A and B are shown apart, each in its own frame.
Chain A
Amino acid sequence: MRSLIDSRMKYVVLPMAALAIATLVLPLVALVIRTPFGSFFDHLGQERTRDALRVTAITSSVTTLCAIAFGVPLAAVLAAKKGPLTTALRAIVTVPMVLPPVAGGIALVSLLGRRGVLGSALDEQFGLTLLGTPAGVVIAQLFVSLPFLVVAVEAGFHSINVRQLDAAATLGASPSQRWRLVGLPMLRPALIAGATLTWARAVGELGATITFAGSLPGQSRTVPTEVLLLIETDPGAAAVLSVVLLVASAGVLVGLRGRWLGRIATP
């Protein structure tokens, strides 16, 4: 550390670093200061709040499971193949990470809305519409959060020592045994990190969800949507729910301690 920040530099670096910390931390401190903890559980006990918490818990969990089911195979493909096609694919996968979520929601409406490219067929053939449904929420969350899983797990695949897999094969392990006994244990830290980030991103999702799946209490109204509506009618309750989101994301970071901060690449 001494060589990285020498004595002359520290008068510039340390104040700037402190400013960065203040930017990130002070708003959260203010949020906690302004939260009416006296009525914390009254707010949480309200039916509409419980509905929003339930919708968010269920949809974000389903989203995470779907992300693992589709995302791990995609990460394996990206890690295994080389060439311009893979590079292009990798860029496309990360687009939703930088796209404004509202734009993602508009894209989903264009595809799966009732008059959408595919959505009109779904409506005509099966009478299936996604506005106001938990399924719509899952699709919106998946669109914005799947890239987090793919990126993390691809890094995990790259860190797998192929020689160890070869050694297992030499020792007579079948392909499924090789992955179960050797590959997956090596992949596990990246998988956990990716799944947790995916889940956290899904829990906080607002723009794509409200644009695509709307806001039906008990069905598609998630905690962030509820916060958006409460800011205006009941700021205290909005602060309480924001603290719940804050605690959930802080829990994620504590759970990821070490895993995300550098250990993925060096298991």
Chain B
Amino acid sequence: MRAFWLSAACVASALGAGACSDDSERKVTVVAASSLQGTLDDIAADWTSESGIEVEISYAGSQTLAAQLRDGFPADVAIIASVRIIGELSSTRALDGEPVDFALNEIVLAFASGVQPVAIEELIGSDLIITLADPAVPLGEYTAAAFLHVGIDPGIVGPASLEPSAAAVVTRLRTGDADVAVIYATDASGFANSPLDGALATYSAAAIGGATDHGIEFLDHLGSPASRSTLVAAGFLVP
């Protein structure tokens, strides 16, 4: 209840003119790509137990995050699955320091249970039901790059659906509505899968200019040995 009144006071003071410095000194607000959910929660919990600073994480698709940040969403740290988008961010929001590329994710061809795995080249003309991410989202960009890498025009792949998020693509595999999909390696446990060349998702983090230094401290924590081992355990690669 106290937290509620604190945040209500925050909203009130934000509506006025002042920032809510009392609250933000003990809290850092992070917006992060959905595919980091779970792993980033663990990393943040470690940091909170070390530093005593609360971390509030809001997950969404990277393109949605980009739009929210463009519109002035009050975040201290942005973590996005696209170096390009974080680069564009610096033109609309003041960043504290340079963005940090702290994790990588492989792109894999994954198969629903009971489906005989095939190579990416064999998808063309096969009877398999294919689901991919729409090119509007980062996974879709990486997917297109992976197909182009083996000389396949993404336009002729013939998917049954181009999903609006990485999570939606994984759901199609899990329900068996798709036989095969291109997904992040960290989503692929439980599915037969083979890594694809030509695309590597890069998670880039930036501290957004503001009243506190906690954003930068959180970025330092992302690069710490403990955080790196958490990332590796979840299937990410670290640079």
Interface positions of A (Cβ within 8 A of B)? 109, 113-115, 129, 131-132, 210, 213-217, 220-221, 225, 228-233, 235
Per-residue A-contact encoding for B57-88, CB less than 8 Å = 1, 0 else: 00001011011000000000000000000000
Give the nearest-CB partner of A214 in chain B: B161
User: How long is the Cα–Cα vector from A228 to B60 in the complex, in angstroms?
Assistant: 13
User: How long is the Cα–Cα vector from A114 to B177 in the complex, in angstroms?
Assistant: 5
User: How long is the Cα–Cα vector from A207 to B134 in the complex, in angstroms?
Assistant: 17
Q: Is the CB of B162 within 8 A of A215?
A: yes
Which residue in A210, A216, A225, A232 is a CB contact (below 8 Å) of B160? A216
Q: Is the CB of B177 within 8 A of A129?
A: yes
With A214-B131, A216-B160 as known contacts, state yes or no: A232 contacts B175, CB within 8 Å: no
A115 surroundings in chain B (CB, below 8 A): 175-177
Question: What DSSP secondary structure best describes chain A's contact surface?
Answer: loop
User: How long is the Cα–Cα vector from A109 to B176 in the complex, in angstroms?
Assistant: 10
Q: Is the CB of B159 within 8 A of A216?
A: yes
With A129-B177, A214-B172 as known contacts, state yes or no: A232 contacts B64, CB within 8 Å: yes
Q: From residue 123 to 146 of chain B, which have CB atoms closer than 8 A to chain A?
A: 129, 131, 134, 136-137
Q: How large is the interface on B (under 10, 10 to 19, 20 to 34, 35 or more residues)?
A: 20 to 34
Contact of B106 with A by CB under 8 A: no
Which residue in A109, A216, A232 is a CB contact (below 8 Å) of B136? A232
B117 surroundings in chain A (CB, below 8 A): none
Interface positions of B (Cβ within 8 A of A)? 61, 63-64, 66-67, 129, 131, 134, 136-137, 159-164, 168, 172, 175-178
Known: A213-B161, A232-B67. 20 other contacts (CB 8 A): A109-B175, A114-B129, A114-B176, A114-B177, A115-B177, A129-B129, A129-B177, A131-B160, A131-B178, A132-B159, A210-B164, A214-B177, A215-B134, A215-B163, A216-B161, A228-B164, A229-B134, A232-B63, A232-B64, A235-B67
User: Can you list 25 residue pairs at the A/B interface with Cβ under 8 Å?
Assistant: A109-B177, A114-B129, A129-B177, A131-B131, A131-B177, A131-B178, A132-B159, A214-B131, A214-B162, A214-B177, A215-B134, A215-B162, A216-B159, A216-B160, A216-B161, A217-B162, A220-B161, A221-B162, A229-B134, A229-B136, A229-B164, A232-B136, A233-B63, A233-B136, A235-B67
Give the nearest-CB partner of B163 in chain A: A215
B178 surroundings in chain A (CB, below 8 A): 131
B160 surroundings in chain A (CB, below 8 A): 129, 131-132, 214, 216
Shortest Cβ distance from residue A64 to the other chain B in the assembled complex, whole angstroms:
24
Shortest Cβ distance from residue A238 to the other chain B in the assembled complex, whole angstroms:
10
